[in-house]
Structure 1
Amino acid sequence: MWKMTQLLLRPSSPRVRFSTPPLSTRPFSSIRPWKQDSVESRGHYPDEAWIEEHVGGPLYQHQKSLPRLPVLSIEDTLRRFLPTALPLAKSSQEAQALQSAVAKFPQQAAQLQERLLQRQKDNPNSSWLQHWWNTAGYLQVRDSVVINVSYFFHFQKDPTAVNQIQRGAALLVAAADFRKKVVTGQLPAEAVGKQKTPLCSVAYKYMFHACRIPVRDHDSYMIYDPARNRHAAVACRGHFFKMDFVDEDGNAYPLSVLEEGLQKCRDLADELPPSLPLGWLTSQNRDDWADARQTLLESCPRMEQALEVLQSAALLICLDEVDRASSEAMAQLLLHAGRDASSGANRWFDKSIQLVLTKEGQAGLVGEHSMMDGMPVMNFANRLTEVTYAQAGALATAKVTSCNVGPIFSNLNISSAHKSQIDRHINKAMLELETAASRHELEVVRFHGYGSDFIKKAGFSPDAFVQVAMQLATYRLWGEQVGTYEATQVRPFLHGRTETTRAVSTESAAFCKEMGLHPKFDEHHESVRKQKLRLLQEAVTAHVKFMGAAAKAEGVDRHFFGLSMLVGDGENAPDLYSDPVFARSKRWRVSTSHLTHPRFENWGYGEVFPDGVGLSYSIHKRHCGFSITALKEHDWTEKLGDKLEEALLEMRALVELDQHPTSKL
């Protein structure tokens, strides 16, 4: 059936025109053009604020009225900090030293606090944090974006799409629909809570026609005028193609035209001579990639224009050679281009959005994290997964009968000397990504014992309940609690991104110690059960409280970060910054993030530290899902998955036995 469908999709008419249009020619659309073709961002959101005014619409209507990120008092920050750090002290001496450093901090950091307050005043139309965070947290980081920065969403199968071409075409139609709303500003601004508190929309400028650019020491981000760029990029067998997919008004091309365009990309990839697999280069250390890119630019006059065609594409569709993949294999395909990175040539990891498809039609998204966090991209992914192949035809309203398809990197006439240099760069990048992929393991855990329905009925916050379970699981894995991060968005504030919800607390420590390193199976003893249940309730309450504070930008980590950035050359930092427990408390050996979507199979990212785990999770009504990443040498992911299930089952027993003391579990 699959082969027959493929044959039927092969173009037998001139609907798809194979051409290599002049790379400098950019047709204007009726979407209002920008005042310039492109913008190079260095991570300072206000520099691109003019785009919001140019676009207007509901998407950006709240930007000027959003509150600004606060600067907390030192006393409040220290009060919240201490309970999250004391459980990590390994001795009474360490605990006393920490408390001593905390006591001295207000005086030692007083001048830093004054500087931070002044910085807030000096940025009346932004946030005191955003430029530091975008640069020091992302654009100046030299690690590869693969595993270290990028994240993935694995979508559920579309039952109406039987193969890669159909699924890809449907995704392009849905992407075009969402893109049009973004570039015209007609997308409703996001809001949260019963009060419908509006969220900052700044990230949407970096979603489409956007690409990170490697530059030594400090990358930049290019965003391109959507009125001048109506194409997507398509990767297949290491070749990259330009494919028009929307008309001048932003409407998607007909579904049949998009299918034939994608099929033409596959056919051309088979027919063309082997390409330079340039996609590998984007997986490198950023300085190495910057050097390699400079070699590319020097290799021929047309290379810069070719790169710009790829960079300016709305997004990248990756047509992979994998037929079908298990949950783990699909997650690996998205996280690092496959178990052995075999699809590394078929990626451009700098693109803000990549959509990856297997031949059978499994699909997912890879997001470059530098200028956008996960929630705006999930909003986009919601539309991508909402529109099925069966529904997509009705949304594709452009009045065209063909689309231009052409290879991006063709007829470049690279000299043999430069070709040798480029080959060396590619071989190095290939080896490094293959090594990184082979060193990692990823475990997908589906816990079917219960989900949010049970947790809510028991009177707990689902997120906090699962966070406490993760504390117990990691405590049992390592025999101690460790620094644990939960990403919490602060987008109710202008240019807000995230704050840390710290999962370690004196309450979670007490609960973990009471539960022990191994199950005790003593829940039937009423006094024991009551004690454990009380400690569970206190641990969950503590997490809810800290998460609520973090959501109001009243966490501790961004404040500490801001103060540390203002220590001048030759000045002594406050003693607290060199305290071992302080350092331990923000060494995120467990990096967690919660995102639940009914049409996602899975989602995830890599660990933050080599001796840690990445732990993404979803809490559905009747089940929970986890994605665990870590270095293979530790042999942790499967063990942690087992510990998670064990902890969740024990916690259910505590609750159920308390409600029904005579029940037998």
Structure 2
Amino acid sequence: MAEAHQAVAFQFTITPEGIDLQLSYQALNQIYHSGVRSWKRRVSRMRNRVIKGVYPASPSSWLFVVIAILATLYMRSDPSMGLIDKIQQHLPLSLHVSLSSQGQTMLSALVFSTLLWLSLILALRFCLKLLLSYHQWMFEMHGPVSNTTKVWVTLLRLLSSRKPLLYSYQTSLPHLPVPTIKDTLSRYLQSVRPLLSDPAYKRMTELANGFESNLGNRLQRYLKLKALWATNYVSDWWEEYIYLRSRGPIMVNSNYYGMDFLFVTPTSVQAARAGNTITALLLYRRKVNREELKPSRVPGTVIPLCAAQYERMFNTTRTPGLETDVLQHWQDSEYVAVYHKGRFFRLWVYNAGRLLSPREIEHQIQRILDDPSPPLPGEERLGALTAGDRVPWHQMRKQYFSSGINKRSLDIIERAAFFVTLDDEEQGMKGDDPAGNLDRYAKSLLHGKCYDRWFDKSFSIVIYKNGKNGLNAEHSWADAPTIAHLWEFTLATDAFQLGYTDDEHCKGDVDRMLPHPRTNWKIPCQSLLQICTSLTVAQSLADDVDCHVFPFREFGKGRVKKLRVSPDAFIQISLQLAYYRDRGGFCLTYEASMTRLFREGRTETVRSCSNETCAFVKALEGGESAEQCRRLLRLASEGHQNLYRMAMTGAGIDRHLFCLYVVSKYLGVDSPFLKEVLSEPWRLSTSQTPIQQIELFDIKNHPDYISLGGGFGPVADDGYGVSYIIVGEDMINFHVSSKYSCKETDSHRFGAEIHKALQDIMALMSAEPKSAAPSRGPSQPKKQL
């Protein structure tokens, strides 16, 4: 065993002649290289702190300022207006004695230059923060651009001309503003109007007015006080109360998944696919650690997005607690945890200070696949503890995994860079039933066998027997766009950069003296009962999930854009039409929008079921004229885009109301209005998976390399979860989930309704006379801010 070899790296025996000390050269060599790598990483971080600390200036600009000041002094001009002389007068007495008058002047000029340089940096960063606080540009993306926005774009480009590091913009991003109570309540009442009858709406209006005039203003004052000192007044409470304090299973209810390419599997060799996938992930981690990734930006613009979520991507685990879980993050990890046929392994990915080649990782993975050793007692289904309820897992962890060999083995999993499952099944769109296989593929990634994933890890990679892969991500540390960015890089690097040999193996040489990665456990019989209980809870939850994945190929965003309609609005309106046909009415609809224009921003809710959208659906289903339906559709599209923009710029509804509710709980006061608002079920929960690095994929020359995107479980027991990804110009992939236990929902039926709704709306808009279609004209080109 690897642990046994490490345990005897240092041996000593006491003999009559003294102590006989025996050292393992291999262990010492590993310690040396690990220390060197750690120090290199520290130096790199210190260098990056300096570079991003002075951004948008550069460290070399200090020398320019010093030379300029000294040059003016040489020309007998004092640019400091007497400050250099004052600095010279206040130099320590020892310097007056040891330095000549000219030396004192030079030192004083150097101090003044440094202070001037720091002042200029603070001024530049303040200007950048002011520029990034301007959001009116978003409401001008598809219309005439004002002179103010033109000047703003020019200044922002000037201040962003230097190549930034990943976190260069962090301190310059504005803080999320707190909306006024009046505005939030007004927008809330408008959002629920189509869902309520006249008496119910009147009652809700009275509740809202009572809240505003009494308790609301008091809670708002506390919230504004928090916003003054907190980096983001929402994110910490959102992470704790929405995610970490949940005591139910995080499998299905919180975790989400991402899929492999739809049509292509780069290799059918499981170990080889694992080798390249693990290597690509570690190369991405290296870029994150060195801050070499380009900061994410709003597509088509130079506006940066918050990168805080990247910090906990690797070496992170959610550990269970009695009342709340804790996210634990380690600075580094030199191995990954691997699960195969009921056994856990520690796979070292560094040797002698270097990252193993893909071929060496493949070799180690193959050793795991060929390992004939059976699981230790209780080891096979240990992962079920992470799939069940959180409190029993906390109790088991505290009682049986807090010391000894079990703690060491648990630490191997929790401190790993990430978790890898070598699945013994085959998945993907294959065989005689491609549609059904995609559904099974989704369920496998979402929950697997309920014990062969470690759902607490920040993300887990699944490599299937036929070479297909995918991931399962824990939700509390970050949102889907962050993990999607990682997954895009991984798929592209695997297929187009690392590649495979002609016989489908990884490239590179192999050092066959690498250590064997098996781990040890001594799981007591008392914990086996809880493992079985957690597995039963998780299995019941998994069996109830109805997943349906389908690619929509009739058209994509290319044809939608020709209609002068937002692709996202087109899809969201289609979802409302599909739901109306499926359930005979409308429901509260959740669409995830980001707030990463602000520091530490996460998400906001776009309430997609709007008055305009409902008016269009009713008109279409009620047999109104095509011209009237088209007019209402365009109004619904513009209305939806406006809601999305407001959510992105901090004028959303739900996060503000959520934080007011948290404040009320801290103060020990009850609000009937807030209690009712936060108990409303989201029967239709939707999210778009963005493609952020399209330049990594050559869809024109390699059209088969199309990602399926990812999905999540239903939020409400009687509702649907819908995720979609717009791929290229001609395809949209959908992931629909619901629960079998609800007789009113059916994922396949709803998928068919989505398919039909998309076609019906396209047919309606395509029949519009060209002369009647609105056109931006030559004076309204597509903006590239």
Gaps (5+ residues) in structure 2?
A: 10-26, 53-163, 429-436, 501-505, 692-704, 772-785
Letter in 1 for 2:358: L
Q: CA deviation at 1:280?
A: 1.4
CA contact (8 A) 1:52 1:60 kept: no
Distance change in 2, residues 1:453/1:195 (3 Å): closer
1:236 corresponds in structure 2 to: 340
CA distance in 1, matches of 2:373, 2:47: 41
1:465 corresponds in structure 2 to: 570
CA contact (8 A) 1:245 1:252 kept: yes
Question: What secondary structure is seen at the aligned counterpart in 1 of 2:591?
Answer: strand
Letter in 1 for 2:250: V
CA distance in 1, matches of 2:496, 2:570: 39
Letter in 1 for 2:684: V
1:309 corresponds in structure 2 to: 412
CA contact (8 A) 1:591 1:613 kept: yes
- Whether 2:753 is the aligned partner of 1:659: answer no
1:112 corresponds in structure 2 to: 219
- Whether 2:738 is the aligned partner of 1:630: answer yes
Q: Could you give the per-residue CA deviations for residues 608-656 of structure 1, whole angstroms, max 9, x where no partner exists?
A: 1211111111223212221111111234211111111121111011111
Q: CA RMSD in A?
A: 3.0
Q: TM-score, normalised by structure 2?
A: 0.72
Question: What secondary structure is seen at the aligned counterpart in 2 of 1:404?
Answer: coil
Gaps (5+ residues) in structure 1?
A: 1-15, 37-48
CA distance in 2, matches of 1:660, 1:122: 55
CA contact (8 A) 1:209 1:225 kept: yes
Question: What secondary structure is seen at the aligned counterpart in 2 of 1:350?
Answer: coil
CA distance in 1, matches of 2:652, 2:509: 48
- Whether 2:608 is the aligned partner of 1:503: answer yes
Which region of structure 1 is more displaced relative to structure 2, 392-401 or 195-204?
392-401
Q: How many residues align?
A: 605
Q: CA deviation at 1:269?
A: 5.3
Letter in 1 for 2:733: G
Distance change in 2, residues 1:568/1:137 (3 Å): closer
Which region of structure 1 is more displaced relative to structure 2, 541-550 or 588-597?
588-597
CA distance in 2, matches of 1:176, 1:432: 34
Match of 2:441 among 305, 320, 330: 330
Question: What secondary structure is seen at the aligned counterpart in 2 of 1:153?
Answer: strand
CA contact (8 A) 2:594 2:648 kept: yes
Match of 1:280 among 384, 388, 391: 384
CA distance in 2, matches of 1:548, 1:349: 34
1:593 corresponds in structure 2 to: 687
Distance change in 2, residues 1:140/1:54 (3 Å): farther
2:6 corresponds in structure 1 to: 21
CA distance in 1, matches of 2:658, 2:586: 23
2:309 corresponds in structure 1 to: 203
Distance change in 2, residues 1:534/1:507 (3 Å): same
CA distance in 1, matches of 2:649, 2:425: 44
Q: CA deviation at 1:145?
A: 1.0
CA contact (8 A) 1:30 1:248 kept: no
CA distance in 1, matches of 2:399, 2:48: 36
CA contact (8 A) 2:360 2:508 kept: no
Letter in 2 for 1:315: F
2:469 corresponds in structure 1 to: 363
Letter in 2 for 1:330: Y
Q: How is 1:556-567 mapped onto 2 (pairs within 5 angstroms)?
A: 556-567=653-664
CA distance in 1, matches of 2:469, 2:459: 13
CA distance in 2, matches of 1:483, 1:18: 54
CA contact (8 A) 2:359 2:507 kept: no
Distance change in 2, residues 1:373/1:54 (3 Å): farther
CA contact (8 A) 1:230 1:248 kept: no
Match of 1:121 among 196, 213, 228: 228
Question: What secondary structure is seen at the aligned counterpart in 2 of 1:495?
Answer: coil
Q: CA deviation at 1:168?
A: 0.6
1:404 corresponds in structure 2 to: 515
Letter in 1 for 2:169: H
Question: What secondary structure is seen at the aligned counterpart in 2 of 1:191?
Answer: coil
Q: How is 1:43-62 mapped onto 2 (pairs within 5 angstroms)?
A: 58-62=165-169
CA contact (8 A) 1:59 1:187 kept: yes
2:103 corresponds in structure 1 to: none
Q: CA deviation at 1:396?
A: 8.2
Which region of structure 1 is more displaced relative to structure 2, 444-453 or 25-34?
25-34
CA contact (8 A) 2:318 2:326 kept: yes
Match of 2:395 among 288, 291, 307: 291
More relative contact order in 1 or in 2 (CA 8 Å, sep 6+)?
Answer: 1
Distance change in 2, residues 1:390/1:449 (3 Å): closer
Q: How is 1:311-460 mapped onto 2 (pairs within 5 angstroms)?
A: 311-325=414-428, 326-337=437-448, 341=449, 344-388=450-494, 391-392=497-498, 402-408=513-519, 410=520, 412-414=521-523, 419-460=524-565
Distance change in 2, residues 1:571/1:52 (3 Å): farther
Q: CA deviation at 1:275?
A: 5.6
- Whether 2:630 is the aligned partner of 1:533: answer yes
Letter in 1 for 2:357: P
Q: CA deviation at 1:366?
A: 0.8
Distance change in 2, residues 1:34/1:631 (3 Å): farther
Q: Could you give the per-residue CA deviations for residues 8-50 of structure 1, whole angstroms, max 9, x where no partner exists?
A: xxxxxxxx989753499994354446999xxxxxxxxxxxx99
CA contact (8 A) 2:359 2:509 kept: no
Match of 2:371 among 260, 265, 268: 268
CA contact (8 A) 1:470 1:644 kept: yes
2:251 corresponds in structure 1 to: 146
Letter in 1 for 2:406: M
CA distance in 2, matches of 1:390, 1:78: 51
Mark the structure with the bigger radius of gyration: 2
- Whether 2:182 is the aligned partner of 1:75: answer yes
Q: CA deviation at 1:255?
A: 2.1
Q: CA deviation at 1:270?
A: 4.8
CA distance in 1, matches of 2:48, 2:721: 34
- Whether 2:292 is the aligned partner of 1:182: answer no
Distance change in 2, residues 1:649/1:554 (3 Å): same
Q: CA deviation at 1:285?
A: 0.8
Question: What secondary structure is seen at the aligned counterpart in 2 of 1:58?
Answer: coil
Distance change in 2, residues 1:610/1:54 (3 Å): farther
CA contact (8 A) 2:251 2:447 kept: yes
Q: Could you give the per-residue CA deviations for residues 489-522 of structure 1, whole angstroms, max 9, x where no partner exists?
A: 1112111110111101111111121222xxx7x6
Letter in 2 for 1:392: L
Which region of structure 1 is more displaced relative to structure 2, 549-558 or 76-85?
76-85
- Whether 2:359 is the aligned partner of 1:256: answer yes
CA distance in 2, matches of 1:20, 1:218: 38
Q: Could you give the per-residue CA deviations for residues 147-174 of structure 1, whole angstroms, max 9, x where no partner exists?
A: 0111100111654312211111110111
Q: Could you give the per-residue CA deviations for residues 296-343 of structure 1, whole angstroms, max 9, x where no partner exists?
A: 226x61211211111111111110010334211111110011xxx3xx
Letter in 2 for 1:651: I
- Whether 2:646 is the aligned partner of 1:552: answer no
CA distance in 1, matches of 2:47, 2:514: 29
Which region of structure 1 is more displaced relative to structure 2, 496-505 or 59-68?
59-68
1:43 corresponds in structure 2 to: none
CA distance in 1, matches of 2:587, 2:741: 19
Counting aligned pairs with the same residue, the percent is 26
CA distance in 2, matches of 1:568, 1:653: 51
Q: Could you give the per-residue CA deviations for residues 189-208 of structure 1, whole angstroms, max 9, x where no partner exists?
A: 21224442112121112111
Q: CA deviation at 1:279?
A: 1.1
CA distance in 2, matches of 1:247, 1:198: 37
Q: CA deviation at 1:558?
A: 0.5
Match of 1:163 among 252, 269, 290: 269
- Whether 2:720 is the aligned partner of 1:613: answer yes
CA contact (8 A) 2:590 2:606 kept: yes
Q: TM-score, normalised by structure 1?
A: 0.85
Q: Could you give the per-residue CA deviations for residues 371-412 of structure 1, whole angstroms, max 9, x where no partner exists?
A: 11111211111111002367426998899665333222x1x4
Distance change in 2, residues 1:640/1:181 (3 Å): same
CA distance in 1, matches of 2:740, 2:343: 31
1:225 corresponds in structure 2 to: 331
Question: What secondary structure is seen at the aligned counterpart in 2 of 1:142?
Answer: coil
